[in-house]
Structure 1
Amino acid sequence: MNEKENIQDENLEQNENNQEQETAQEQAAELSQEEILSNKLAEANDKYARLVAEFDNYKKRTSKERVELIQTAGQGVISKLLTVLDDFDRALNAMATAQDVESVKQGVELVNNKFRKILENEGLKEMNVVGEAFDADFQEAITAIPAPNEDMKNKVIDVVEKGYTLNEKVIRFAKVVIGQ
């Protein structure tokens, strides 16, 4: 029986060793799962940090572009108006030595027409409101006076300051006198 007991003892030891090995393997498997999860978490954190940095750079870049656009928005119009400025300089020089007032007047009218044409091409339109019904969306009533006739009631009788639209948007309301 000693031999049988020895064999049983060896089998018991072997079973215990097998169980310890299985436990060690399970712990190793659990550690590898923890390592895998921690690696995935580290990758996700890295991607998140890069995404936040990229978005921050995007915001800075678009903000900078917006500031540059605002600063240079009028450059095209101003470049076109430089010719009008040159014409005004020539008119002023001509007025200093001019003997004929009519030619100076015609020159100033030409410069005025050129100036207005450039502004019209850029989308600026003058409001012609005399005789039209008062519209608070386009006009600002300065005062009201008795209407000269019944047809002119609640209509614009006079314009104190012209109104303008830029690409169909009011940029300055016409200041008007209306009839009552």
Structure 2
Amino acid sequence: MGKKTSKKDIKKENKKETNKASASKPKAQQKSTKSQEVSKEKELQDKIDEINDKYLRLYSEFDNYRKRTSKEKLELSKTASENIIIELLPVLDDFERAIKSTEDSNDCAAVKDGVNLIHSKFKGVLTKKGLAAIESIGKEFDTDFHEAITQIPAPSKKLKGKVVDEIEKGYLLNEKVIRFSKVVIGK
């Protein structure tokens, strides 16, 4: 039993010595650990500040981009029709000349020719800009292009379910329907 006791005593003494040695070390290490923690904390705070700065700059840049694009869209919508208006001005001039000439003229044929000329010029300008009329009479009724106003008995069996009459012409602008043809369908 004496040996066991002495081993236990030795172990206890070793523990006490280790505890004394470790107790003296932490004071020195605590100072260096605290300074390391402070420097790490400062480093992390610097990173946070840098990230916040980047975030604020990006947010500001995006906000400026949004305002700029909004302003550009508004400007574009204001001037989008400018080219069309410029091309329609000669047609307006022709109408004004036609009105003046009808005041002095009794010749209906000349007035009719003038109006037909203006009409074809006007149609030419619109066609150049991508406008196309929807051909409806005699065609199958198609809800993608036609709006049925009414149905009447078909004059012939061929015209059943087809467009018999057109009340208002429909138009495509660059292959997109901008006005449906208002039509009468044969039943």
Instruction: Tell me the TM-score normalised to structure 2 length.
Output: 0.84
Give the Å deviation of 1:128: 1.5
State the number of aligned residues. Answer: 166
Q: Secondary structure at the match of 1:142?
A: strand
Aligned to 1:38: 45
**Which residue of the partner structure matches residue 127 of structure 1?**
134
How many angstroms does 1:22 deviate by?
3.5
Aligned residue number for residue 180 of structure 2 = 173
Residue 29 in 1 paired to residue 36 in 2? yes
Given residue 100 of structure 2, which amino acid in structure 1 is its aligned partner? N
| Deviation of 1:21 (Å) | 4.1
Q: Counterpart amino acid of 2:145?
A: F
Q: Return the match for 1:144 from 128, 138, 151.
A: 151
Q: TM-score, normalised by structure 1?
A: 0.87
Residue type of the alignment partner of 1:45: N
RMSD value over aligned CA atoms?
1.6
Unaligned runs of 5+ in 2: 1-19
Give, as a single letter, the amino acid of the residue that structure 2 aligns with 1:151: K
Structure 2 CA distance, aligned partners of 1:23 and 1:34?
16
Q: Which residue of 2 aligns with 1:8?
A: none
Does 2:111 match 1:111?
no
CA distance in 1, matches of 2:167, 2:107: 32
Cα deviation, 1:131-162, whole Å, max 9, x if unaligned, reads 11111110011111111111110011110111
How many percent identity over aligned positions? Answer: 49
Query: Unpaired segments of 5 or more residues in structure 1?
Result: 1-11
2:166 is matched with which residue: 159, 163, 167?
Answer: 159
- Taking a change above 3 Å as real, the CA distance of residues 170 and 19 of structure 1, as seen in their structure-2 partners, is closer
Structure 2 residue identity aligned to 1:138: F
Aligned mate of 1:93, from 91, 100, 122:
100
User: Could you say which residue in structure 2 is the equivalent of 1:9?
Assistant: none
1:63 is paired with a residue whose SS is helix
> Structure 1 residue runs of 4+, over 6 Å off?
none
